[in-house]
Structure 1
Amino acid sequence: MAIDIQQIGKRFRFYTSIKELEMPQLLEMTGSSEEVLSNILCGKNYMLDELVGIVKNFHDLNTQWLIYGEGSMFKPMDENGACKDNHKGCLKKDKAAYLKQMQNMLIELDAAEVAKGHHADVDALKAKLEEYKANHPQE
């Protein structure tokens, strides 16, 4: 399966939006340059080594999803709500204000995946957003 750096950029932007991470936080977390991070987020030319160096800082991010669009965005969680690699809290925050934005991003990501012939697990993410909306009305 070919690696599509534009799709990786879209998925990484989606992930950072859900985690509410802005460029200054990403720079601090990764120790990377703004140019490299910007290239990854925009799906421009970058080295795979640069991507690996950045992604290793996000313990809850499923790299199979990031690179190939397969599976869930987040690594599996255990019964205590911790990621299987013992990092607590895969999501930084759950905020109702972001639901609409996330739904729009899911639609965009889904359309891009379908256009590329990929079959991402976007429906599961949509279901989780709908479930959250149902359980947290008008927050």
Structure 2
Amino acid sequence: MAIDLQQIGKRFRFYTHLKELEIPEIQKITGSDTQVLENIICGQDYMLDELVAIIKHFPDLNSKWLIYGEGSMFKPMNEDGTCTGNHPKDCLKKDKAQYLKQMQEMLLELDAAEVAKGHKPDMDALRAKIVELKDSTSTAAE
């Protein structure tokens, strides 16, 4: 399976937006060079060793999803029901409706890229999760 640096960048950007992380915060967490982070997010020339060094700082990120677009963005739950990393719902902004709208817009961009690569079921699962979160936000607001 070929590795597409631009797709990795789009998925990493999607993940970091969901976690509300900007480049300075990612740099602080990972100790990585700003230029390397920008290259990864933009899908430009970088070494996979650099990517691996960065993603090891995100224990909930599924590296198979990030690199190949396979499976879920987040690692699965442990057998005891606890998360293997931070749960994505814990990262939502206070204004969940606005945040979910932003995630839907990013999902459309990612969806177009993933569908072009034939990963439609993965995108349908992500879309269902966003709709589920949106519905729970609507119910809680009432």
Matched, 1:15 2:22: no
Counterpart amino acid of residue 69 in structure 2 = G
Spell out structure 1 runs of 4+ moving beyond 6 A.
none
Aligned-residue offset at 1:94: 2.1
Contact 1:113 1:120 in 2 (8 A): no
Counterpart CA distance in 1 for 2:68 and 2:136 is 31
Partner of 2:106: 105
**Structure 1 residues 54-63 or 112-121, which shifts more?**
112-121
SS in 2 for 1:121: helix
Contact 1:6 1:42 in 2 (8 A): yes
SS in 2 for 1:136: helix
SS in 2 for 1:115: helix
Query: Structure 1, residues 24-60: CA drift from partner, whole Å, max 9, x if none?
Result: 1101000000000000000000001000000000000
Partner of 2:24: 24
Contact 1:8 1:43 in 2 (8 A): yes
Counterpart CA distance in 1 for 2:137 and 2:38 is 34
Q: What RMSD over aligned residues (CA atoms) do the two structures have, in Å?
A: 1.7
Counterpart amino acid of residue 8 in structure 1 = I
Query: Structure 1, residues 65-92: CA drift from partner, whole Å, max 9, x if none?
Result: 00000000000023665323xx4x3324
Counterpart CA distance in 1 for 2:81 and 2:31 is 28
Partner of 2:74: 74
Query: What does 1:83-102 align with in structure 2 at a 5 Å threshold?
Result: 83-84=83-84, 87=85, 89-91=86-88, 92-95=90-93, 96=96, 97-102=98-103
Normalized against structure 2, the TM-score is what?
Answer: 0.88
Q: List gaps (5 residues or longer) in structure 2.
A: none
Q: List gaps (5 residues or longer) in structure 1.
A: none
CA 1:121 to 1:30, structure 2 compared with 1: closer, same or farther past 3 Å?
A: same
Counterpart CA distance in 2 for 1:120 and 1:55 is 24
Counterpart amino acid of residue 42 in structure 2 = C
Contact 1:70 1:121 in 2 (8 A): yes
